[in-house]
Amino acid sequence: MNWLISPAHAQTGGGAAPGGGGIELIMLVVMVVVFYFFLIRPQQKRAKEHKNLVQALSKGDEVITSGGIVGRVTKVTDDFVVLEISNNLEIKLQKQSVQATLPKGTIKSI
């Protein structure tokens, strides 16, 4: 059975130079900084903007939801918003599902 598995031999020679691990540490720090500035920070900024948008919702705003529904806000509560999507047709949604506010008059132009 020894002919199937070749024996492993220890490597002989000099070890790593002292202080040689500094480059790996610097590369690790650089990668963490890159991830922070390109991934984490922009996501935090978008979340903060969305939170401000949701808090600023008021009656009469024209909005679009994450599902693509366009409507006018008729009532705002702590966690929910009532949208009028057609004449005498209202739906109740969570505030977090509001994706963006639209300029006034957008619904009439659609």
What is the per-residue DSSP string for 47-96? HHHHHHHHHT--TT-EEEETTS-EEEEEEE-SSEEEEEEETTEEEEEEGG
The pLDDT value given to residue 17:
55
Query: From first to last of its 110 residues, what are the pLDDT tens digits of the chain?
Result: 566 777 667 666 555 555 567 899 999 999 999 999 999 999 999 999 999 999 999 999 999 999 999 999 999 999 999 999 999 999 999 999 999 999 999 999 88
In a domain, 77, yes or no: yes
CATH number at residue 94: 2.30.30
Residue 86: domain span: 24-109
Tell me whether residue 66 is in a domain: yes
- Is the residue at 9 inside a domain? no
Return the structure tokens found at 84: 């009028």
Provide the pLDDT for residue 19: 57
- The confidence score (pLDDT) of residue 21 equals 76
What pLDDT, on a 0 to 100 scale, did the predictor assign at position 20?
A: 62
Do the domain assignments include residue 7?
Answer: no
Q: How many domains does the chain have?
A: 1
